[in-house]
Structure 1
């Protein structure tokens, strides 16, 4: 469901900030992997999939031999979540792996906001059923803190210290039909915050 096109809250990243963050993350991925030959980007629905495709295009700009279509997919983690009993019923999504698979490759999980770490734990469990990557990395546009599990991103667009009462919304033009932005709502007295 598209986000409210006029969200309440404070915009902490605009479209140009999001673009710069993704370009920086792409360069960091290439540097850490010493190229992009064996890199696979798996987006976590919904916005992680869009971000993975954007990162893939940037990787191709850095490493011309990198094929975005053959190295990008999506990973549905619904059935691996540990909160299924407490959450409303969710529709199971689709997992799409690149044709070459993930075996022996460097998989970069891509998500919009990292919060408790539980979604990423579910993603790691899902990956274990799909193959054995050489390495797994995590890229997120926003890290808002408040981890409940020992999970840390390898590539971060923006660290946003937040309170638990605040909410971070990532808006992407392809998904939400509005200009890219990261918006924090629920801030008290104008102080920092996120999702």
Structure 2
């Protein structure tokens, strides 16, 4: 039986996302030219939450999209035809934009690398910044987040789960040992 520890409860998740929103605004000097892109699936829900926080703070809507990385993963050789492919939805051009790529958990960096490859196929952003709710360490690639809700040192055998309710709102972050 797994030993579960709540790392962030609902209010902790809200505080972390609000702090990330403020950090994004500070680093980018506002929302001009800014777009949010969530990595399917959890990152999309968090990008939407982040967009809501930015509206609350700045009173301006920030475009929000989604990227599917299935065909960009480096672990699918010979298995691609059996994987469900999601949809990349970018109802805006990323050309020349400041893209904040959003994911729930940063671990090895391979998902982020795949997402950046997928984004680069969509156009040339002026920059790509990374926002994650949880950074758990153990990178395989030289990738780091610009905005982190919580750093949680883990072992490779442990797992971090971001739970969402039926409305796709984040409810808690759990460490599974």
Q: TM-score range by the shorter chain?
A: over 0.9
State how far apart, in whole Å, the 2-side matches of 1:175 and 1:8 are. 27
Secondary structure, in 3 states, of the residue corresponding to 1:130?
Answer: coil
- Equivalent of 1:20 in 15, 21, 39: 15
Q: Whose strand proportion is higher, 1 or 2?
A: 2
1:90 aligns with 2:76: no
TM-score norm. by structure 2 comes to 0.93
The gaps in structure 1 that reach 5 residues or longer are: 1-6, 187-195
Secondary structure, in 3 states, of the residue corresponding to 1:122?
Answer: helix
State how far apart, in whole Å, the 1-side matches of 2:162 and 2:79 are. 21
Asked whether the 8 Å contact 1:77–1:123 carries over to 2, the reply is yes
CA deviations over 1:170-189 (Å, ceiling 9, x no partner): 00224678x70111112xxx
Asked whether the 8 Å contact 1:50–1:174 carries over to 2, the reply is no
Asked whether the 8 Å contact 1:111–1:140 carries over to 2, the reply is yes
Corresponding pairs, count: 175
TM-score norm. by structure 1 comes to 0.85
The RMSD of aligned alpha carbons is 1.8
Secondary structure, in 3 states, of the residue corresponding to 2:76?
Answer: coil
CA deviations over 1:42-85 (Å, ceiling 9, x no partner): 00011100000000011111211x224xx000001110110013
Aligned to 1:182: 173
State how far apart, in whole Å, the 2-side matches of 1:58 and 1:39 are. 14
**Superposition deviation, residue 37 in structure 1:** 1.4
Aligned to 1:136: 128
State how far apart, in whole Å, the 2-side matches of 1:57 and 1:21 are. 14
